[in-house]
Amino acid sequence: MRARWNRILEVLETNFWFVPLLMLLASGALAVFLLYIDQRYDPGVDTTFSWAYSGGPDGARSLLSTIAGSMITAASVTFSLASVALSIASQQYGSRVLRNFMRDKVTQILLGTFVSTFLYSVLVVRTIRGTDNSSGFVPAISVTVAIVLAVFSLILLVYFIHHVSSSIQASHIVNVIAEDLEDTIPRLYPSGAGDPFPHTPAFEAFRHRERLTLTSSRTGYLQSLDLDRLLEIASDCNLIIELSPAPGDHLVQGDPLAHLWGTREVKEETEHNILGCFLFGGERTPLQDIRYQFQQLTDVIIRALSPGINDPFTAVNGIDKVASGIAVLAKRPRVSEMREDKSGELRLVLSTPNLTDVLKETVPHIAIYAAADRFVMASLRRVLDVAEREQQDDRERLVISQLRKELDNLQAKTASLS
C-alpha cells in the first residue's frame, strides 16, 4: 500500500495541475469566508478597519475586473515561458529532464496564484451592488485582499522571469538531477522491507522444492514494487517469493514476475494480490529505480557531447556529478537481496541493482561518445577511481578493472582511426 501511495504522490508532484487546483479551492474558500466577514460588518467597515478599501461600488467593480483580466493575461505569459523552457530543455538535455521541470514548485505556485487570484476576483465582484450615486454593498475587506493578491502575483511574476532564466542553464539542470540522485540512494527499495536474511546458503535448499511461476499479464516498465505487501503474503502463505525483475526493467506479457517456492498452486485471490504488488507504467520513474537517476545524467552528458551541441564542459560537469553519486552509493552498506519476516524466516529474494550494475550501464555508454576527447575520458576514469576506492569485494574490483580496460581499448581504437 505504501508503494501505491508513493506512486500517487510522485504522479501528483510531477503534474502542473495539482497545486493550482488546491490553490483554486483555497481561494474559493477564502472568498466565501471574507465575504461573510464583510456582510457581518457592513455598514461600518471603514471605521472598523481603517486599512480596508474605501471606494465606491463602481471603483471596486472596475478594480476587480482589471485584476481578473490581468491575472489571465499573466497566466498565459507564464505558461508560454514555461513551454519555451520545456522545449529548450527537451531539445538540449533530453526528454527525461522534463520531469524535473514539471515538478518545479515555483512554476506550479505561480500558475496557482494567478488562476486563484482570477477566481477570487470573479467571486467577489459578483457581490458588489449599486453604483457610486446610489446606496449599495462593497465588500471592502475582500476587495483589499484582492489588491494584496495582485501585488503578490506581480512580485512572483518578476521572480519567475529570473527563475526560468536560470532553470534552463546546464549547470542548474545537472545540479538538480544530482541532488535528486543523492536523495534517492538512501531509499534504495529493498532496505525498508523486512530484515536482511543472513543465511544465504539456506535458500539453495529451496531450489529443489516445488515451485510456481507467475507471469506478467501486462506490457510496460516495472515502476515500483509493494514489498511490504509481498512480505506479508509470503509470511501468511508460508512461501518464499523470488522476484525476477527489478524496478526499471521492461516486461512484455508472459515474462516471469515471481517464483513462488514451496507450492505448485495458490488460490486465485492470493495470485491476484501478488500480481497487484507489481506497479507498471509506460515510462520509468525514479521511485525505486536508482538506475533511472544515473540514466538522466548519462543522457545529459551524451547530448552535450553530440556534434550539434558540442559542450564538453557540461559533459565534464555531468560526469563529476556521476562520480559524486557513485561515491554516495559505494559508501552505503550493500543491500541484502534476501529478506526475512519478523519470525526470522526467509520470505523474499530480490533482484537489486548494485554498484557494478550502475557502472556498467553508465560508463560504457558515455565512453562511446567521449572516446575522442581525452579530457572527458580523464573525468570518466575518475568515476572508476572513485568506485575502486570504495569497492568492497572481489567481484566489484573485477568489473571495475574490465571497464577500465574497455575505456583504454576504445580510446586507442578511436585514436588509430583519426
Read out DSSP for 238-293? T-EEEE---TT-EE-TT-EEEEEET-S---HHHHHHHHTTEEEESS--SSS-HHHH
Is 91 within 8 Å of 101 (Cβ atoms)? Answer: no
Cα separation values, 335 from 197, 372, 399, Å: 11, 37, 18
**β strands within 303-418, DSSP E:** 338-340, 346-349
- Confidence at residue 100, expressed as pLDDT on a 0 to 100 scale: 73
pTM: 0.75
Cis peptide before 43 (omega within 30 of 0): yes
Q: Which residues contact 370 (CB under 8 A, 6 or more apart)?
A: 301, 305, 315, 376, 377, 380
Is 363 within 8 Å of 407 (Cβ atoms)? Answer: yes
- Confidence at residue 39, expressed as pLDDT on a 0 to 100 scale: 84
Is 139 within 8 Å of 38 (Cβ atoms)? Answer: yes
The residue length of the chain stands at 418
- Confidence at residue 120, expressed as pLDDT on a 0 to 100 scale: 95
Is 235 within 8 Å of 345 (Cβ atoms)? Answer: yes
Residuewise pLDDT in 10s, the chain (418 residues): 565 666 677 666 777 788 889 999 999 999 999 999 888 876 655 555 666 777 788 888 999 999 999 999 988 888 888 788 777 777 777 766 777 777 788 888 998 999 999 999 999 999 888 776 666 788 888 899 999 999 999 999 989 888 888 877 778 888 888 887 777 777 665 555 666 666 555 556 666 677 888 999 889 999 888 888 888 898 888 888 888 888 888 999 999 999 888 888 888 888 889 998 898 888 888 777 888 888 888 888 998 888 888 888 889 999 999 998 888 888 877 777 778 888 888 888 887 778 888 898 899 999 999 888 889 999 999 999 888 887 667 788 888 889 999 888 888 888 887 6
- Other C-beta atoms lying within 10 Å of the C-beta of residue 3: 23
